[in-house]
Amino acid sequence: MRNESLEEELNTLRLIYGAESVAFSEETGKLRLHLPSQTNNHDLVLQCCIRAGYPATDSLSKADMALEASWLADDQVQALWRALCRAVDLEDTTTTTVAPRAPAGTLCSVASWLYEARQRILEERDANHKERQQSESIRSTDEGNIARLKGSYRARSGPLLNSLADDRTETQSSTETTVKAVPVTRSNPEQQAGVDQVRSLSASMERLVLVSAEPFTERKSTFQGHAAIVTSSPAVEHCLQMLRENRKGRHATHVMWAFRIDLSEGISLEECDDDGEHRAGRLLLELLRKMCQKNVLVCVSRWFGGVLLHERRFYCIQLAAKRALAALQAADKVSLSRQAAGHGSSAHA
């Protein structure tokens, strides 16, 4: 891979949109990003030639990119493309000789903007379609009322208009829907028994150490990663409680987390939580799996600064988690070296 930042962006895109949606050639630098739709009729395809210096020295250039949307008219595709270039501030290399450095995560921002723009277009189309249907329904109702009333009423506009108005303003009863959280159940009795056994274990909570990495800020949002070595679900709950009770941590907008624990008899326990940051928990769990991390809890706190980061937030979440895991590994090495030094002193004594 050309550089670590580009690799992380591509991996983030694969996690979000699926590995089959991202095709990148290391030799040519050409990227094909396919944003599928649920109906398979509203797909978007972005063709991009990524320069070797991205994002360290080169920015994404709109001269090296092309957008395909067969379900839109040509003028609509061009309008969508111009709006994208303005929103993400893509460089125009036809007027500049040297492209400036691009912020890490720009590629994810492009994909996110296109995804959400398509949603807005489809929602607007759906709203217009429903409005046309409603207008046709009202027109049909009015015509039927006029036909039924013809010859039965005198030619007086007042009663007729009042009757039609009553038909048009007939209210519909609304049904309030409540969403109830359903606890996760496991179909494997042996796995459930292992989980119950772990929950009943009494861990020495005072030995738990939650390591926090240095926070960093991206477009007014601050991210900070935390990690701890855990061997039971009560230990996980204790670490999360430590974060909630922390003076700074309790004000975080989101605290997303994931953990992997090796239980007895080859049983593994994995769980994650988004805490309102959609898909973030899954991203953290996939990161732990990819890095082969076991008996580890990783958390990321985010303090929202008022500016939407779109898919770029996943890059920041992943970066914060990696820094926390690196800090945990360094702290664990220091702890082991101190223990070894302590044993050495006892032997000499």
Q: Is 311 helix (H, G, I), strand (E, B) or coil?
A: coil
Q: Are strands 268-273 and 296-303 parallel, antiparallel or unpaired?
A: unpaired
The predicted model gives 250-277 an average pLDDT of 87
Asked if the model's pLDDT at residue 70 lies above 70, the reply is yes
Query: Structure tokens of 111?
Result: 């994909």
Q: State pLDDT tens for residues 103-151.
A: 556 888 888 788 878 888 888 887 777 777 776 766 666 556 555 555 5
Predicted TM-score (pTM) of this structure: 0.49
In which band, very low, low, confident or very high, does the pLDDT at 199 lie, cut at 50, 70 and 90? very low
Cα 325 to Cα 212: distance, rounded to the nearest angstrom:
9
HEC string for 180-195: CCCCCCCCCHHHHHHH
Asked if the model's pLDDT at residue 160 lies above 50, the reply is no
- Among 38, 52, 85, which residue's Cα sits nearest to residue 66? 85
- Chain-centroid distance, C-alpha 153: 62
Asked if the model's pLDDT at residue 154 lies above 60, the reply is no
Sign of CA dihedral 127, 133, 136, 137: negative
* Residue whose tokens read 């769990």: 285
Helix axes 106-149, 4-17, angle to 10 degrees: 30
pLDDT for the residue 11 = 84
Query: Structure tokens of 231?
Result: 């061997």
Query: Structure tokens of 38?
Result: 């649920």
Q: State pLDDT tens for residues 304-323.
A: 999 888 778 888 999 999 99
pLDDT for the residue 149 = 53
**171 or 252, greater pLDDT:** 252
pLDDT for the residue 301 = 95
pLDDT for the residue 256 = 94
pLDDT for the residue 145 = 59
- In order of 22, 84, 237, 288, the CA distances from 111 in angstroms are 11, 10, 35, 24
Is the preceding peptide bond at 55 cis, omega within 30 degrees of 0? yes
**276 or 3, greater pLDDT:** 276
Every domain of the chain and the residues it spans:
4-121, 207-348
Cα 189 to Cα 195: distance, rounded to the nearest angstrom:
10
Q: What residues does 183 pair with on adjacent strands?
A: none
Query: Structure tokens of 210?
Result: 């939650």
> Is the CATH number 3.30.230.30 carried by domain 207-348?
yes
DSSP strand E in the chain: where? 22-24, 30-35, 44-49, 65-68, 211-212, 216-218, 221-229, 254-262, 268-273, 296-303
Q: Is 93 helix (H, G, I), strand (E, B) or coil?
A: coil
pLDDT for the residue 45 = 93
Asked if the model's pLDDT at residue 16 lies above 90, the reply is no
**86 or 175, greater pLDDT:** 86
pLDDT for the residue 49 = 92
Cα 259 to Cα 205: distance, rounded to the nearest angstrom:
17
In which band, very low, low, confident or very high, does the pLDDT at 347 lie, cut at 50, 70 and 90? low
pLDDT for the residue 122 = 83
For the domain bounded by 4-121, which CATH number is listed?
3.10.110.10
pLDDT for the residue 112 = 79
Is the preceding peptide bond at 100 cis, omega within 30 degrees of 0? no
